[in-house]
Amino acid sequence: MGIMFVVLRPGSGKADLRRVLRRAVGAGCRGRVLADAENPTVAVSGETSKLEPSGFQVLPGVREVLAVGRLAPQAPAGRRPAPAVVEVAGGKVRIGGDRFTVIAGPCVVESEKSLLRIARGVKKAGAHLLRGGAFKPRTSPYCFQGLGEAGLKALAAARAETGLPIVTEALDQRSLELVYEYADVIQIGARNMQNYALLKEAGRLAKPIMLKRGISATIDEWLMSAEYLLAEGNSRVILCERGIRTFSGHTRNTLDLNAVCVARGLSRLPVIVDPSHGTGVASAVVPMARAAAALPSHGIMVEVHDRPGEALCDGHQALRPAEFADLMRDLAAMSRVCGYRL
């Protein structure tokens, strides 16, 4: 059982739709016209693996054929009236549309004092949201695992002082409950992208979710994980490309900017980029952040630390506050040419 979306050009007529439906039925599949689509769209379901997209592509009026995986994603562009804009903190910040949103902060909350120092710095430079992990998915069990609820409390204090909404990760169902109480955006990390039980829980919550792409996840798998959130009723989902594992050995990961373009084409969800984990090398973060803005994507999430050498996690990929401020100036200068609002 699979699904394929056949998207027609605006203004296509009933005859065009009927031709698509006939071809679907002729191939032993079912076809259904989607009622709420911006462009006329037919969802074709059944043994779609045997269908050639080109069989639909050649029909009059057909703009594109999206074969998105095994289940019916709500994410495809074209089915809903407009690309999603995700409201954060009661509309204080909006992610998506023509906005370019910048999330910045330390990898992990180390203490309230250090978080406040960094939060003030990123706020002054113009960040829109503050990031920081209280529950950390560390590769080694002997590394700092985060402050837990004390970290969330520190984030809340930083929000109270700076006014920046906070993004922080939930590691499992238990931490999700706590994170839900404090966070403005709940992060589901790369390692948990296919933790379907966690996705289902998060999908039931009334807070935006930032879903990072898994380290070895295909784009379809990433979108289908987003679908778990949407299917449970949470429409405020932000996708985050954070680099994938490849044979390219000089950086921690390979930031897959292709995937940003593809995900934007296949989905109406905002797509942001994490050049910090995507490269793992501080000197590569600014260039790749600029590249993300030039695509454009809907924003970036970058790690910033005022004492990278002493950081308890990911100091090697942290920007110093002054470097971050320079980056913000670059992004402002690029905005007119690239067509986004900062």
Residue from 145, 146, 102 nearest 122 by CA = 102
Residue 107 interacts with ligand PEP (CB under 6 A): yes or no? yes
Nearer to Mn ion, 227 or 314 (CB): 314
* CB 138, min distance to ligand PEP, A: 9
Q: Answer yes or no whether residue 212 interacts with ligand PEP by CB under 6 A.
A: yes
Picking from 239, 288, 255, the residue whose alpha carbon sits closest to that of residue 77 is 239
Number of helices (H) and strands (E) in the chain: give both, helices first.
11, 14
Nearer to ligand PEP, 169 or 227 (CB): 169
> Which helix (H) or strand (E) covers residue 208, if one does?
none
273 part of the interface to ligand PEP, by CB under 6 A: no
Nearest to 340 by CA among 287, 301, 300, 294: 294
Rounded Cα distance between 278 and 294, Å, is: 16
Which residue number, 191 or 290, has a Cβ lying nearer to ligand PEP?
Answer: 191
Which pair of structure tokens corresponds to residue 91?
Answer: 């509309």
Binding window for ligand PEP (CB under 6 A); candidates: 33-41, 183-191, 231-239, 328-336: 183-191
Tokens of residue 90, six digits: 């009661």
Please tell me the number of Cα atoms within 13 Å of 97 on its side-chain side. Answer: 11
- Binding segment toward ligand PEP, per CB under 6 A, in 153-161, 186-194, 288-296, 304-312: 186-194
Q: Which of 130, 134, 147, 190 binds ligand PEP (CB under 6 A)?
A: 190
For residue 23, the partner it binds in Mn ion, ligand PEP, none, with Cβ less than 5 to 8 A by kind, is none
Measured from the CB atom, is 96 or 133 closer to ligand PEP?
133
Contact pick of 6, 29, 62, 107 for Mn ion (by CB under 5 A): 107
| Contact yes or no for 323/104 (Cβ under 8 A) | no
Angle in degrees, CA 332, 155, 145, rounded to 5: 110
The single residue among 242, 252, 264, 305 that binds ligand PEP, judged by CB under 6 A, is 242
Region of 269 (left: φ > 0; alpha: ψ -120 to 50; beta: rest) is: beta
> Among the candidate windows 77-85, 97-105, 184-192, 195-203, which touches ligand PEP by CB under 6 A?
184-192
Least distance between ligand PEP and beta carbon 291 (Å): 18
Contacts to ligand PEP from residues 119-148, by CB under 6 A: 133, 137
Does position 256 interact with Mn ion (CB under 5 A)? The reply is no
**DSSP for 57-93?**
HTSTTEEEEEEEESS--S--TTTSSS--EEEETTTTE
Using the rule CB under 6 A, is 189 a contact of ligand PEP?
yes
Q: What 3-state class would DSSP assign to 40?
A: coil
Rule CB under 6 A: say whether 23 interacts with ligand PEP. Answer: no
Minimum distance, C-beta of residue 133 to ligand PEP, in the bound complex (Å): 5
Instruction: Please tell me the count of residues contacting ligand PEP according to CB under 6 A.
Output: 10
Token code pair at residue 267: 């989905």
CB of 261 to Mn ion, least distance (A): 25
Look at residues 84, 43, 33 and name the one whose alpha carbon lies nearest to residue 66. Answer: 43
Shortest Å, Cβ 187 to ligand PEP: 6
190 binds, among Mn ion, ligand PEP, none (CB under 5 to 8 A by kind): ligand PEP
Query: Phi, psi (5° rounding) for residue 40?
Result: -55, 130
Query: 133 is in the binding site of which of ligand PEP, Mn ion, none (Cβ under 5 to 8 A by kind)?
Result: ligand PEP
Beta carbon of residue 265, minimum distance to ligand PEP (angstroms, whole number):
22
Rounded CA gap, 137 and 81, in Å?
37
* Binding region for Mn ion (CB under 5 A): 107, 314
* Binding region for ligand PEP (CB under 6 A): 107, 133, 137, 169, 189-191, 212, 242, 277
